Amino acid sequence: MKLRNCLLIFTLLLTVPLSVFSQIGWDYVKEIEKNIKAPIFADRNYNVLHFGAQKGGVKDSRAAINAAITKCSEEGGGKVIIPTGKYYIKGPLILKSNVNLHLSDGTELIFSHDEKDYLPAVLTRWEGTEVFNYSPLIYAYQVENIAITGKGILNGQGSKNIATWKPKQKDDQALIRKMGREGTPVHERLFGEGHWLRPAFIEPLNCRNILIEDVKIIDATFWIIHPIACNNVTVRNVTIDSLNHNSDGFDPESTTNALIENCNFRTGDDGVAIKSGRDNDAWRIGQPTKNVIIRNCTFESISNGVCIGSEISGGVRNVFIENITVPKARNGIYFKSNLDRGGYIENIWVRNITIDSVRSAIKFEPDYKSESKENYPTRCSNFIIENVNCNYASQKGIDIKGFKEMPVTNVSLRNVNIANSKEGYEINNARNVSLRNVTVNERKVEYAQTNKTISLNGLWDVALTDKQPQTYRSKVPVPGILTMSKPLVAEGLHGNDQKDDVGYDYVWYRLNFDMNEEAYAFALLKVRAKYNALVFLNGQEIGYDHHCTYSHAEFDVSKAINYNGQNELIVRVGSWNTSSSPSKENSSEWWRNSRAPGLWDDVCIELSNAITIKYIKALPDIKNKLTHCDVEIANTGDSDSELTITASIFDGGQIISTSSNNYNIEKNSSVTKALKVPSFMLKYWSAGKEGTPKLYRMNVTITDKHGNIVSDKSTMFGYRNIEVQGKDVLINGEKVIFRAENIAFVRAVNRWQDVMFEETWIRNFLRSAVQDYNFNYLRIHLGHAYNKWYEIADQEGIMLQDEWRYMHDDEPVGKDLVEAEIEFKRWIKQNVNHPSIVTWDQENEGYVRLEKLKSELREYDPTRLWGEDDFYAKHIYDYSEQVVPEPYFEQAEDRPSTILESCRLWTNEFGLLEPREDYKTSRTASGWGVYYFNQETIGQLLADLHADIGTYHRKNRLQAWAPFALLSGWVNGQNFLLGNIADSLTIQPNLELSLIRLNEPIGVSVDMLQAKEWYTNKKIYKPGTSHTKEVVAWNDFGKDIYVTINLKIKSIDGKEISSQQAILTIPKYESASIPMSFKTPKQNGCYILEPEIVLEDGTIIIGAQRRIMVAQKINKKIDGYMAFGGQRTPIPGGESCIRNFIGIDPPAKVAETIIKTAEGSLLDRLSVKDNIYTMQSTSYRGINEFKITTTKIDQEGKILSQEEANAMNYVDLSEATRKIIAELIGAVPVDESRIMVRKHTGYTNYDVRLNESAIRCKVSINDDGTIRELVVH
């Protein structure tokens, strides 16, 4: 007696207790019964004697009976009656719609035993493969509402000829199976005369509403009742007595909704054998058998009582077996398949089985008569078998076998008693087996447990208090955030607001949950909380995790958990108050005090043995055609263990490759072992509309020296490579351009918090980003991403730049440094297997200066790029003369170049200026001299900027360009303009025209700076004049293309005015330009330049629209056509920049002085106190060099004083100076914080203002590096 390789996690279909799940299954029988109804027939009778049938069993009555069937069907149906007597049937009976073939009591139909009588051949399946073969004795094809009823006898006379063919069928059997495997067209699979494939007895094919009731069937030819691809089948009160070879009683194949009840079978093969086709042929058809009920029957068999298999390549699910008696059989309940089959057997319920004498009462056979051994094991999962009593088993009473790489999973045996068994029992290569009250030879069947995961997602109690509450009045979903609580735990909460005034320090989450489990050696709670989680279980304080946190913290709850009964889990999470003050002790983070706390991801408890797999890292090595599988193993036991570790790659249910090795793992240790799994047969993972996001499963099992599986874990991964070569990025050896976009979760979470955690919405969003908007790359930044985002991105095929949201504490020291390193490592470790993540990014708008850690992590994960290191990244919100002088854009010469943020206007969702920090201005808008907008003007400027920067990106083949166009939230320039809910994805029309078209893998645009032409230069094109523009086209694919370029002039309403044509060759992965001339229309107005590409196959790809103004001179009407054009006075419904700063309109002379003083600069600050107006403006000499001017103006508009200071961004200060400032103020400024620098003899003064903070300080540093003076206010 042995129990080997048993994995015992019981997570059947749903995460519910076993007893509940069992009842869910049996309740589902009622749902199946609703779809199984006996056919109803018209009240008309057709006596076969009236059609020429003759009693006596000598003369052929086949033609007469078939004529009666045809007549009955043609007249709307009824009952075809065969009166008492014997009738000889020389060939097949063909059932037709709405006919009940009724055999009176005492009737016997005696079928011919001459095989020629069953020609011509008909479409059928033979042992699961489609074929044209001898007709079944009773056949129906594509009909409905048919029945065979009555107490008569159907005599197949199989023993006189056809049933004896089995020894002759070998060659034909091999041939038809070969045809099925090779996909030979079905019409070429012609058997019949001269062949030896036995026909079935009763076979409806592609029929529905079938009843077989009360008849007795004897001496069958082959399989007896064999519905194929049918729906709604009832077999009731049928008796079968046929001991011929392969005379299965009931074989539903690829059939849905079948009921067999109150039957008594004595057969030469399986009483019931559920099937769904063989091998490749069934995979092609793809039709499972499902929703089958078998009850109140007796099956005596030379083979098996009730069997599922072995032809189950199409899959079998939802089978319910109860109240069955098996007096004698080879096996009582039998599940069989082999390595050729594939497919699945799942969701099987069995109860109340009485067995007398068998070899095995319950048997799982994974390799039954495999032929080609092609390594397509069947997935077997979710079995509940209860109340089984067996008197005698000559072999193993219980015999459960799987494959090491594909174990049988989720098997529950309850109340099973094998009174006498010679070989006891064996459970081998099975996972998640639960045994309750199971005995063999009066001894309890023992088992060893291993991994089990219990999900704790759902509705939790929540409260916002200083101390642990006694009562909770609100509920909140987990995963989710505090602002999703109902009722809301505090008034005025918003997911993306700063909240320093909540009034309480902590948020308390509580969940009560029941368990009914055997005790495990180790229990690990996984929680991802923001922020500072403190965990209590059943009144015990478990531990504290003071990370932000962007990864799951792990808590050992082994000593606190109650395995049998109720558990109370409390997680205390820091509220806004606990994280609002930047300090080293609090591990400060820019977004830390401005985003709602919560449990941001799945919460679970992992139960395991002393030896368990903690993590799997699956990293592709395409160069060497391997996948490196690193397995972290913990041995918390008190003895060393000799273990075998096996890593297997699965493609669906097929094992692709395997690697195994033996190790000795010391007691009380945690080690990582490396396996190299051959991967030459794997297909690449790739992204975008043109990509193939192929995923594989890496499954790792650990077995002890006795062969018992003690731990098992899986992870999904993709076989892909990414690398930099010069200025290019290669994916799987092919050049790729990132068609990129930003997602700022923290900015979107206020309005759209619910959908951030909704799997269906996430999938629709990412699918739309790929399929509708042509993106292949998303930069996830500024906020937490629920792990489902990564999983679904893997599946949908979109690359991710995953940004560590630890902004902006980018020079951590002391405790901060330790915590940052822990968090950083944990973040990457938990996400390393997602193929969608192609770039790790250390911090937004800067970089975390952890060079040693970064080098360590590059070794840990060499399969990804690192932002700021592997490519040059710039943020370009505009390219105006005031902000960035020509040539506007920058590129690196030694690595790929990217524009990772662009084209965002700092405006709110209502089209008004959004405060930029405390300045209440708009950087982009001010850069163009435009201080206020309505929605249309915002959208137009945004579209112009998109087209300008996007065209530059496409022409110069920059690696990436990532505007803000989809899910960025309240500071995205209202890119959703027409959509106020996240799932609308309806963006402003002219933006859509530019964005989607610039994202085309093959696309075209006019090379012009639209925004500069109009907003700065006020360029006009005189009517009827000729002009030339460069038209640029690009090709992201690895093959040269030859295209026609059309450049069209259209009116604003889309009417085509003229068109020019040119021929162009676009090299692979490159862009190409061609000058194209056009003549302006003769009428004044705004016109559209719209290029298009025509591919060789006729496909037309339309390019981004650009605007030109045709006029003799500029006037107000013309100015209005081009939208706003730098107006400096309020427009109707708009709001002036000055009023937006100070809330009032100052005297006209003051306003005039402010505007004049700020001319050519950005107006940063404006305040008024005691009738003195103080303004600060910035003029740029370059991106990182600028001058700040502070001006005081009196009530009459006179300038009282003016002070100028050179300034620079914090990030551009020397490292020593940055360190002094950070140490003194206890926080690290944002990279772009402006530092005014005044050089004096022997010392330098630094005037520091922290972005997103009220902190101001003045630091004076001597030339020798010592502190001269420090003032903080």
646-682 confidence digits (pLDDT tens): 999 999 877 899 999 999 999 999 999 999 999 999 9
What strands lie across the sheet with 728-731, from one edge to the other?
A: 722-725, 728-731, 734-735
Quick one: 742 and 864 in the same domain? Answer: yes
Distance, CA of 464 to CA of 474 (rounded, Å): 10
CATH code assigned at 117: 2.160.20.10
Domain edge (last residue) among 973, 994, 1015: 994
CA angle, 898 then 901 then 903, to 5°: 120
**In sequence order, what are the beta bridge partners of 1205?**
1188
Per DSSP, the three-state class of 571 is strand
Domain edge (last residue) among 586, 608, 630: 608
Quick one: 179 and 258 in the same domain? Answer: yes
Quick one: 500 and 557 in the same domain? Answer: yes
CA-wise closest residue to 541 among 553, 526, 559: 559
Contacts of 1239 (CB under 8 A, 6+ apart): none
Total number of domains constituting the chain: 8
Contacts of 125 (CB under 8 A, 6+ apart): 131, 205, 228, 253, 277
33-58 confidence digits (pLDDT tens): 999 999 999 999 999 999 999 999 99
> Looking at the domain assignment, is residue 1130 inside a domain?
no
Quick one: 463 and 545 in the same domain? Answer: yes
1055-1065 confidence digits (pLDDT tens): 999 999 999 99
> Looking at the domain assignment, is residue 1125 inside a domain?
no
Quick one: 590 and 708 in the same domain? Answer: no
CA-wise closest residue to 134 among 152, 148, 116: 116
CA-wise closest residue to 618 among 801, 803, 853, 834: 834
Quote the pLDDT of residue 764.
84
Section 876-887 average pLDDT:
57
> Looking at the domain assignment, is residue 311 inside a domain?
no
CATH code assigned at 506: 2.60.120.260
Quick one: 121 and 270 in the same domain? Answer: yes
CA-wise closest residue to 301 among 224, 220, 361, 358: 358
> Looking at the domain assignment, is residue 182 inside a domain?
yes
Q: 157-166, 231-240, 817-826, 1073-1082 — which is least confidently predicted?
A: 817-826
Quote the pLDDT of residue 166.
95
Quick one: 478 and 551 in the same domain? Answer: yes
Section 1098-1111 average pLDDT:
92
268-282 confidence digits (pLDDT tens): 999 999 999 998 899
Distance, CA of 866 to CA of 873 (rounded, Å): 11
Provide the domain limits for residue 1186: 1137-1205
Tell me which DSSP letter residue 944 carries: H
1215-1224 confidence digits (pLDDT tens): 888 878 777 7
Domain edge (last residue) among 580, 608, 636: 608
Quote the pLDDT of residue 783.
63
Quick one: 510 and 387 in the same domain? Answer: no
**pLDDT over 50 at 6, yes or no:** no
Per DSSP, the three-state class of 147 is strand
529-554 confidence digits (pLDDT tens): 877 789 999 999 999 887 656 788 99
Indicate the pLDDT class of residue 1269, thresholds 50, 70 and 90: confident
Q: 459-473, 785-799, 980-994 — which is least confidently predicted?
A: 980-994
What strands lie across the sheet with 604-608, from one edge to the other?
A: 452-455, 604-608, 522-527, 553-556
CA-wise closest residue to 485 among 455, 512, 458, 460: 460
> Looking at the domain assignment, is residue 108 inside a domain?
yes
Indicate the pLDDT class of residue 583, thresholds 50, 70 and 90: very low
Most confident of 153-162, 571-580, 1142-1151: 153-162
Strands 256-261 and 272-274, by their bridges, are unpaired
Quick one: 21 and 65 in the same domain? Answer: no
| Predicted structure pTM score | 0.69
- Cα→Cα distances 712→645, 678, 691, 698, 1224, Å: 10, 20, 32, 11, 51
Strands 734-735 and 728-731, by their bridges, are antiparallel
Quick one: 44 and 192 in the same domain? Answer: yes
**Inter-residue contact 614 to 633 (CB < 8 Å):** yes
- Cα→Cα distances 183→38, 176, 279, 610, Å: 37, 10, 11, 49
> Looking at the domain assignment, is residue 313 inside a domain?
no
The residue behind tokens 């599986």 is 709
Most confident of 267-271, 817-821, 893-897, 984-988: 267-271
Quick one: 130 and 239 in the same domain? Answer: yes
CA-wise closest residue to 717 among 783, 626, 840: 626
Locate 1124 and state its tokens.
């706003």
CATH code assigned at 1184: 3.10.450
Per DSSP, the three-state class of 1036 is coil
CATH code assigned at 1048: 2.60.40.10
Quick one: 602 and 619 in the same domain? Answer: no
Q: Residue 874, by phi and psi: left (phi above 0), alpha (psi -120 to 50) or beta?
A: beta
Quote the pLDDT of residue 597.
77
> Looking at the domain assignment, is residue 438 inside a domain?
yes
> Looking at the domain assignment, is residue 310 inside a domain?
no
**pLDDT over 60 at 815, yes or no:** yes
**pLDDT over 60 at 1126, yes or no:** no
CATH code assigned at 816: 3.20.20.80
Distance, CA of 508 to CA of 291 (rounded, Å): 45
Per DSSP, the three-state class of 176 is helix
